[in-house]
Amino acid sequence: MLVDIHNHILPGLDDGPKSIEEAVLLATNAVDNGITHIIATPHHHNGRYINSPSIVIEAVAKLNKELLKKDIPVKILPGQEVYFYNSILEDLENDLLTLANSGKYLLIELPRNHFPISTFETLYQIQLRGYTPIIVHPERNTVLRKDKQKIYDLVNKGSLVQITASTLIGLQGRNLKKYTIDLLKHNLVHFISSDAHHYVNRPFLLNDAYQHVRKKFSENQVTYYNENAKHVILGTGFQPMLPISFK
Ligand SMILES: [Fe+2]
C-alpha cells in the first residue's frame, strides 16, 4: 500500500486535469509510481477555487468508476487543500473535508508571501476541536523559507508538515532542495507527497522522492513517511519523530 495525500487529480475542479481523460492519465502515472491510494485534495478557498465537500465526494465517485472501468488499480479518496482563510474555524464542521473523510487530518495551505499573525492561534483552535493540521509545502512560504525555526515551533505545537516530492529531488532548484533536506534532518517532515497536477508537467514523482530518501537517509525513513500517510487514511494517530530545534 503506497499513499499520496496531496494532489489535484480530480478533473475540472481546479488547476488540475481539465478532463476525465487527463485525470485517467494522471492516475496511470500514479500507478507507475507504485501508488495504490490517492487522497484527492482540490484547492478550497484559495481565492480562485471553492470545492465544498459534496462536490469533491461526487467527483471522487465519478473518477473511481472510470478507473474501475479502465482497470486502473488505484483508489481515489476525498480531501481538500484548505487555504488559510478567515472563516476556517467557522467552516470546520460543515464546509471542510478531512483527508480521506476520516475526521482527523486537515490539509492546510498558508499564504505564499506572509505568515498570518493568527496562524498559531488558529492552528491551536483547530486542534482543540479534535483535528490535526498538516501544513503543506512550507518551502513555498517566503517567511518559513527564511525562518526554519518557525516550522519547528509549528511542529512543536502539534502541527504536521508535508513537503513536495519534486522539491526534494531538486526540480525547484538547489536551494529549495537543500531547504527540504534540512527539514528532513530536523525531523520536521511527516509526509512527502506529489502535489501532482498534470501527467506531464506536474506528475507524481513519489517514487523518485522515496528513492532519494532511501539513498540519502534510510529505508526506515521511507517506511516512516508511508506509514504516516496510511494513518491519514485510517484517521488514526501516530507518534512523530522528535523534532530537532535549529537553535
Ligand atoms: Fe496542492
Each residue's pLDDT tens digit, 213-238: 999 999 999 999 999 999 999 999 99
Q: Average pLDDT for residues 9-33, to the nearest whole number? A: 98
Domain positions in the chain: 3-234
pLDDT at 154: 98
Q: Is the dihedral of CA 203, 204, 207, 213 positive or negative?
A: positive
State percent of the chain over pLDDT 90: 100
CA of 7 to the centre of ligand 1 (A): 6
Residues 6+ apart with CB under 8 A from 212: 168, 169
pLDDT at 86: 93
Sorting pLDDT into bands at 50, 70 and 90, what band is 46? Answer: very high
CA of 203 to the centre of ligand 1 (A): 12
CA of 195 to the centre of ligand 1 (A): 5
State percent of the chain over pLDDT 70: 100
CA of 112 to the centre of ligand 1 (A): 12
Sorting pLDDT into bands at 50, 70 and 90, what band is 125? Answer: very high
Give the separation between CA 32 and CA 135, rounded to whole angstroms: 27
Sorting pLDDT into bands at 50, 70 and 90, what band is 203? Answer: very high
CA of 205 to the centre of ligand 1 (A): 14
163 within 8 A of 107, measured Cβ to Cβ: no
- The C-alpha cell that represents 95 in the structure block: 464546509
Give the separation between CA 22 and CA 222, rounded to whole angstroms: 29
The values of phi and psi at residue 33, to 5°, are -85, 0
Q: What is the 3-state secondary structure (H, E, C) of 79-117?
A: CCEEECCCCHHHHCCCCCCCHHHCCCEEEEECCCCCCCC
pLDDT at 180: 98
CA of 41 to the centre of ligand 1 (A): 7
CATH superfamily of 3-234: Metal-dependent hydrolases (3.20.20.140)
67: helix, coil or strand? helix
Sorting pLDDT into bands at 50, 70 and 90, what band is 88? Answer: very high
CA of 197 to the centre of ligand 1 (A): 8
pLDDT at 198: 97
For the beta sheet containing 105-109, the strands, ordered from the edge strand earlier in sequence to the opposite edge, are 43-44, 81-83, 105-109, 132-136, 160-164, 191-193
CA of 188 to the centre of ligand 1 (A): 19
CA of 5 to the centre of ligand 1 (A): 10
How do residues 99-121 score in pLDDT, each as one tens digit? 999 999 999 999 999 999 999 99
Mean pLDDT of the chain: 98
